[in-house]
Amino acid sequence: MGFRPFVYRLARQLGLAGRVRTDEAGVTSEAYGPASALDLLERRLPIERPAAARVETMRAEPIPPEPLAAFEIEESGAAAERRVAIPPDLATCGDCLRELRDPADRRHRYPFTNCTSCGPRFTIALGVPYDRPATTMAGFRMCPACAGEYADPADRRFHAQPNACPACGPRVELLDRAGAGIACPDPVARAAEALRSGAVVAVKGVGGYHLACDATSPEAVRTLRARKRREEKPLAVMVADLPAARALAELTPAEEALLDSVERPIVLCRRRPGAALAPEIAPGSPLVGLLLAYAPLHHLLLGDAGRPVVMTSGNLSEEPIAYLDEDARARLSGIADLFLCHDRPIASRCDDSVARVVAGRPLVMRRARGFVPRPVRVAPRLSRPVLAVGAQLKNACCLARGEEATLGPHVGDLDSLETYQAFEGAVARLEEFLAFRPEVVACDLHPLYLSTRYARERAAALSAPLVQVQHHHAHAAAAMAEHGLPGPVLALAWDGTGLGSDGTAWGGELLLAWRGRFERLATFRPLPLAGGDLAVRQPWRIALAALLDAFGEEAPVDRLPLFASVPAEELRVVRRMLAAGLHSPPAHGAGRAFDAAGALSLERAHSRFEGQVALALDAAFDPGEPEAYPFEIAAGAGGVEELDLRPLWRALCGDVLAGTSAGRVSARFHRALSRAGAELIRRACGRLGDLPVVLTGGCLQNARLAEGILGGLDGSLQVYLHGEVPPGDGGIALGQAVVADAVASGRSE
């Protein structure tokens, strides 16, 4: 799709004869002509490829001459079509953008302009092969002009499945909150006007509905937050283009490239001081999530609005994003004043992806639109098809076969019927698209995750083995698979919480990992979580546990401002629970240490979403502070080393009592944790020799921590961060698949 016509045009331009086709191997081209022209073809192919195409390997070999008159595109067989199944959705290309803005073009201001280099793909696909009748464009009959483009191999729209124009394609319409159509000559211009005057507009996009409002207006943002019941989580902001992004954020070249990439993720950037953005967009954070317009409808809307626009998922807090028209109208009518809709159905829900630059390279934190369903190449290859269902939070599934692992779109936390149904739907759709029949089903060790229950049922129905994979081993294996590391590796998996093979909660692990097994080398000294998961939303409970661990009964609880905001009776009860070990399972999670440090230094007893206090601690960081808190590494039970943070808690507590700024406390804490991570790795290398190192787990989304650990390691070590596979639970299914394949094959290496 797009690549064959590109080869065709290039070969013709060079005066070559021959053919190009897709087959099991990928794209094969046989070209005949003078050696110099053949040489040019070989050199120009990878350089001038379409923006959306990736050339992974290329091989050239001489073939016997054939007397051909011209260069042609060969139709391909069904098997080949399936192999290059369905591409991800692609951001509007430069050529289409020019047409969109050209008053003389027949697609001037047409919101569904696309070509073989851009446009919707995965989100409009209904089945395979990916061909117009199997997309949601099937109901639109191409006009003669569009049909001509579609049939002409020399045209940019040759076999562009969603090809359309104002005469034959989808149309936008504007509805009021009751669903009644509003007659107007230009619904997009009218919606932009409404945005400028403070309205909340539901916009039907590529993979679902967004809720949009004026990002420069505090009042509009407050209204959106109140109606959506999303009180504090940061909101993404869409801008028209890179110059508009530069006006709002201080961007590095790597961040600009990521923003402008064909995947168009939301990119976490450093907000420019004084940027024209409502502070309510990301309260208390120096960062802002920006994304560039990626569909023609966005380009028109942003252009007409003439300002940055909040573009957040169309849902009530925690629900899956709305993508079906009736459902969206039902669920969003209490939030949006207007609906900017269209009649091109969305077949698959797909959120915006989220990424950031860490250590100079892109790191995907939420993998969805633009990436799904492009497979991740894994090495070594799997010996059988594995369905891996992920964990409970930030769920995404993975279907892995041979050298390719396809991660499903981000679904969210599996704690409601709606998200669970979205999860089931995502698995079923990918299985159908890939003609995938699992021979092994993989899931987490945790028996109560909905994904685990689903996996058990599926395995039984398929009579396939079920392999339960330890959470942090799966994180490690995801990083190994992404980087083609066969193992053994040292895997620093710092995370929130995952069930360990000893039945306790793990999360601050250093593992020696192979695909089929692992050894636990080091972990965090455990802290009791009073009230279990409740402690995640109430980080004061973890802070209290850390202080009691560090000081014993002498802990200066009464003098610390954090605890003044906790009701005295609650404090007494929790203290008693901790002393008696009641409902206080020990947890080794690294994430909890960040929560406790943030709670103590920022006087934040509660967290509205997981990791909120840790993010606030990160935001407070004072780069001018060079010191780090002390810590110890002790020999623990069973030869597992323990990172002992009691000295850190004592010093941090002293700082807070002495009135040291939160910025300095944050810096000393982050530097200590970075040093501890590097020190654990160095010690392991001292015992085992130098091994490749992977840094994984949800905490490694923290750029400061990841870069700090990297900086503390010897440059001669091979250290790998995640790239297009999320380090958090959104990438864990890939690791589950790889481990399950090794286990089911009886390989322990």
The binding site for Zn ion (CB under 5 A) comprises: 93, 96, 115, 117-118, 143, 146, 165, 167-168, 495, 498, 729
Q: Taking the complex as a whole, how short is the minimal distance between the CB of residue 526 and Zn ion, in angstroms?
A: 17
Nearest 5°: the CA angle 265, 270, 275 is 105
Our CB check for Zn ion shows the closer of 203 and 478 to be 478
> For Zn ion, which is the closer residue by CB, 223 or 395?
395
Q: Which of 93, 125 has the CB closer to Zn ion?
A: 93
- The helix, strand and coil proportions of the chain, stated in percent and rounded to the nearest 5, come to 40, 20, 45
Could you give the C-alpha distances from 480 to 488, 678, 727, 731, in angstroms and in order?
9, 19, 11, 12
Nearer to Zn ion, 161 or 216 (CB): 161
Nearer to Zn ion, 143 or 254 (CB): 143
Select from 68, 11, 87 the least CA-distant residue to 375: 87
Identify the helix (H) or strand (E) that includes residue 510. Answer: strand 505-513
Structure tokens at 458: 């599926």
Q: Which is nearer to Zn ion, 119 or 207 (CB)?
A: 119
Minimum gap (Å) between residue 90 Cβ and Zn ion: 8
- Please identify, using beta-carbon distances, which residue of 205 and 498 lies nearer to Zn ion: 498
Alpha-carbon 345 to chain mean position: 24
Angle value at C-alpha 520, between 514 and 523, nearest 5 degrees: 135
Question: Closest Cα to residue 614, out of 595, 596, 593?
Answer: 595
146 vs 427, which CB is nearer to Zn ion? 146
Q: Cα separations (Å) of 508 from 135, 190, 336, 431, 577?
A: 45, 52, 42, 34, 24
Whole-number minimum distance, CB 538 to Zn ion, in Å? 21
CA gap 17, 160 in Å, rounded: 24
Closest CB to Zn ion among 610 and 729?
Answer: 729
Cβ-Cβ contacts under 8 Å for 42 (sequence gap 6 or more): 58, 60
* CA angle, 168 then 172 then 173, to 5°: 130
CB of 185 to Zn ion, least distance (A): 20
Tell me how far the alpha carbon of residue 53 is from its chain's centroid.
20
Three-state secondary structure call for residue 42 = helix
The smaller minimum CB distance to Zn ion, of residues 471 and 671, is found at: 471
Closest separation between CB of residue 116 and Zn ion, Å? 7
Phi, psi of 483 (to 5 degrees): -105, 10
CB of 103 to Zn ion, least distance (A): 18
Q: Where are the alpha helices (DSSP H) in 294-373?
A: 296-305, 325-332
Contacts of 382 (CB under 8 A, 6+ apart): 400, 401, 402, 403, 405, 737, 738, 741
Amino acid identity, residue 399?
A: L
The residue among 162 and 487 lying less far from Zn ion, judged by its C-beta, is 162
Q: How far is the CB of 93 from Zn ion (least distance, A)?
A: 3
Cβ at position 623, least distance to Zn ion in Å: 29
Could you tell me the smallest distance in angstroms from the CB atom of residue 618 to Zn ion?
19
Query: Least CB distance from residue 622 to Zn ion, whole Å?
Result: 29
CA distance linking residue 187 with residue 185, whole number of Å: 6
* Residue 623 structure tokens: 């780069």
547/737 with CB nearer Zn ion: 737
Residues 359 and 707: beta-carbon distance below 8 Å = yes
Give yes or no for a cis peptide into 129 (omega within 30° of 0): yes
Contact 530, 611 (CB under 8 A): no
Q: What is the C-alpha R_g of the chain? A: 27
Residue with smaller CB distance to Zn ion, 146 or 651: 146
Q: Which is nearer to Zn ion, 408 or 735 (CB)?
A: 735
CB atoms within 10 A of CB 728: 23
CB of 229 to Zn ion, least distance (A): 26
φ/ψ of residue 78, rounded to 5: -60, -40
Which residue, 288 or 397, is less far from Zn ion as judged by CB?
A: 397
Minimum distance from residue 499 beta carbon to Zn ion (Å):
10
Beta strand segments in 205-353, E: 209-214, 237-239, 249-250, 266-271, 287-292, 309-313, 338-342
CB 440 within 8 A of CB 413: no
Can you tell me the distance from the alpha carbon of 559 to that of 329, in angstroms, rounded to the nearest whole number?
A: 52
Q: Name the token pair of 214.
A: 């004026």
Q: What angle do CA 137, 376, 319 make, to 5 degrees?
A: 60
